[in-house]
A and B are shown apart, each in its own frame.
Chain A
Amino acid sequence: MLAAISSEWTKLWSVRSTWWCLIGAAALMALYSVPLGFDAAEPNPELSHADQLLHVEEVATAGLLFTQFALIALALLTVTSEYASGSMRTTLQCEPRRGRVLVAKLVVVEVVALVAGALLAVLGAGLGYLTAGDYGVFDVSAVATVAGKISVYMGVVVALAIGLAVGLRSTAGALVVAFLVLFLLPMVLMMSGMDLMTDVSYYLPGTAGTEYLGIGIATLFGLSDGLPYGRNGGLGLFAAWSVATLLAGYLVFRRRDA
């Protein structure tokens, strides 16, 4: 198993797309947090100083909604780029037990996601603080807590991505599905204003996962009181989606000709 993981580790860092995805993630986080910081730095005479304070850990959480897609792309590409190039056949010649191939890919991507998630959180909070002038509040323990949660969130979301990738094989297909279930679909359903649609939206991975972080998609629509679960419940539901997607992906991967 270690041999397969070592091989996947070598493969991950020897293609440019991995680096581009990480640079992209950092850039997206910066693009989100810097304007938020500058915005907070402008004094608003109608509000008290305390009301204008920017708790920068929230900047990191909010930035995650977009930043995650760069890491999702990184995770997908470990599988879909091999299908696109035909090199999946080389991979399966090296390790014909497909479950092991999947676990090895998952392990290396998890390591990257957990570390990158925490670093991105610190980056977002740090940039928010540096740009918010007198209004930035950098509470180390609050930032550390959020960094931990974002790390966990990224860990769960990349597992979902790998499940989609082995199931669908195509980069574009998997990325579109990820974007739908994590972002667009929850929002569209909530905007519909219909009770049934809203209820369905509560159970989608995007709603559950962001609820775990505290600034959820449901919060944006003022619906977080209606959610049938709390923050930890959100994580549980989110993780259940990931595990189910991975299992479904594995079944397809195991059965289909390479």
Chain B
Amino acid sequence: MITLDHLTKRYGATTAVDDLTLQIEPGRVTGFLGPNGAGKSTTMRMILGLDRPTSGTATIDGRPYVSLRRPLREVGALLDAKAVHPGRRVRTHLVAMARSNSIPVARVDDVLERVGLAGVARRRAGSLSLGMGQRLGIAGVLLGDPRVMLFDEPVNGLDPDGVMWIRKLLRSLAAEGRTVLVSSHLMSEMQQTADHLVVLGRGRLLADCSLESFVAGHGSLEEAYFRLTSGSVEYTGTEVA
């Protein structure tokens, strides 16, 4: 379980995350939605101790990430598929991660198999396509068999088979009783994957409810989402005449 308690992050005059208090429960897929700049990624980085909150706390089962001794065994996170040294081989990247948390190296080959990268284990990470990079990031999440998992836009760059694979993977991970938080901009995909939704707009919590009650009264998740976030979109293009 992830607990955010009055979590706030300011950069100068801008408030990226504004007094967020909520719990992300185990055993279900929680979809993390919101327009660009809503604060989803910043929230995830604060959960992982990468960014320091201006005020408030983010804890995992009651403990801040920085106090975890072998964090990969408790929390797995895919933030950016390109957060890999491009010159390092796929397998070695995971071996270095495994060593840092005293995870048996044999586990690396298991997760490579599971994400479908066993055939490219010797390739340099920089030579992977975006979709394969996402799979490598997911391998990193699975590596320590953690109870809590965060995925920031995991379906970006995946082919249709990959998208379906991820959907099934996320559902099965939640069914195993794990805490699964997934951000995405693809509403139709979220509608098929998430059980619960957390929606942010301009750093504030707009909704924290089940998918069912969120969509109720609207035709689709997409429609309900547009209705809710219409006042919170920061970056808009001009409409085509």
Contact = CB atoms under 8 A, between A and B. Distances in A.
Interface of A: 3-4, 6-8, 10-11, 14-17, 81-82, 85-87, 89-97, 255, 257-258
A11 B97 CA distance: 9
10 contacts: A7-B96, A7-B97, A7-B100, A10-B92, A10-B95, A14-B93, A16-B87, A85-B82, A85-B85, A86-B83
Contacts of B93: 14
Interface in B65-87: 65-66, 68, 70-72, 75, 77, 79-80, 82-87
Contacts of B84: 85-87, 90
Q: Which of A4, A14, A15, A86 has the most CB of B within 10 A?
A: A14
B87 to A, nearest CB: 5
Interface stretch (B28-36, B44-52, B194-202, B203-211): B44-52
A94 B100 contact: yes
B88 A89 contact: no
Given A14-B88, A14-B89, A89 B99 contact: no
B51 A258 contact: yes
Contacts of B88: 11, 14-15
B26 interface: no
A258 B79 CA distance: 12
B127 interface: no
Q: Which of B45, B68, B71, B85 has the most CB of A within 10 A?
A: B85
Contacts of A258: 45, 50-51
Contacts of B66: 96-97
A109 to B, nearest CB: 15
A3 B158 CA distance: 33
Contacts of B95: 10
Contacts of B87: 15-17
Interface of B: 45, 48-52, 65-66, 68, 70-72, 75, 77, 79-80, 82-89, 92-93, 95-97, 99-102, 140
Given A93-B48, A94-B71, A85 B100 contact: no
B140 A92 contact: no
B45 A257 contact: yes
Nearest to B95: A10
Contact of A82 (B49, B85, B99): B85
B45 A96 contact: no
Contact of B97 (A15, A85, A94, A97): A94
A73 to B, nearest CB: 15
A159 to B, nearest CB: 22
Given A14-B89, A96-B65, A3 B99 contact: yes
Contact of A3 (B50, B92, B100): B100
Given A86-B80, A86-B82, 4 more contacts: A10-B92, A17-B87, A87-B84, A94-B101
7 A-B pairs closest in CB distance: A7-B100, A94-B100, A86-B83, A257-B51, A14-B92, A7-B99, A10-B96
B79 to A, nearest CB: 6
Given A85-B83, A85-B84, A86-B83, A96 B71 contact: yes
A257 B72 contact: no
Given A89-B80, A94-B72, A257-B45, A81 B85 contact: yes
Contacts of B92: 10, 14
